[in-house]
Structure 1
């Protein structure tokens, strides 16, 4: 179900907690909400729909996928950039990495490890920051 995207920086600054299989509906809702906002958004974290769980979703080309309890295990190639956010007005400076590796659970709660680079890596880093209460 498509959920309302929140714009409350105080809520967004709170840390999320790990998700469990009982949170499967949140994954579905977050993917539905991302798909409803694809014209202006390439990623979302669960706290953007007022749920403090470590769940993110990413859009890449025609595909959207979920990462549950994502943890960056390796990063390489730091660079400075500016990012905007569907939940906040304007853009803010940040440091990102060109290549990352991430351990996570997929939407079926199966363990995964992925290597990402470029724009997809940047999106994942932004959304994981949301889970940590870092407002970018």
Structure 2
């Protein structure tokens, strides 16, 4: 289901709860909402659609992915950049890593399965943005 983007700062600043396999519909809502934005959205966190669950959906090479309970395990090559956000009216300067090892879970056969992957460049940046949202950090 397509959801409205949340702009309530107090809501967005609250850290998300751990997601479970029962939250699969939230991931689908993230996909539906992203697809409704005509290619203008590379990443959304669940709290941006009103669900306080640690789920991030992102686009990579034309494919949408949902990761549950993501965390930065290690970051490499820090840099500063300006990012916009659908939930906030202004761009912010943030610190990101050009490459980052992310731990997360994926939904497979109705269960969450742990994964770890090294992300780079744009994909690493947008996932870090989503992780910030999950942690209640506004950018």
- Residue aligned with 1:6, SS: coil
Q: Which runs of 5+ in 2 are unaligned?
A: none
How many residues in Structure 1 have an aligned counterpart in Structure 2?
A: 136
Give 1:28 deviation, angstroms.
Answer: 1.0
**After the TM superposition, which residues 55-94 of structure 1 pair with which residues of structure 2 at under 5 Å, given as runs?**
55-94=55-94
On the 8 A contact 2:43/2:56 being kept in 1, the answer is yes
On the 8 A contact 2:7/2:87 being kept in 1, the answer is yes
Q: Which runs of 5+ in 1 are unaligned?
A: none
Give 1:38 deviation, angstroms.
Answer: 4.3
TM-score, scaled to structure 1 = 0.95
**After the TM superposition, which residues 1-136 of structure 1 pair with which residues of structure 2 at under 5 Å, given as runs?**
1-108=1-108, 109-136=112-139
Separation (CA, whole Å) in 2 of partners of 1:95 and 1:54:
21
Separation (CA, whole Å) in 2 of partners of 1:127 and 1:38:
19
Q: Deviations over 1:36-89 (max 9, x none)?
A: 124321100000011110000011231110110011111110001110001111
Alignment RMSD: 1.0
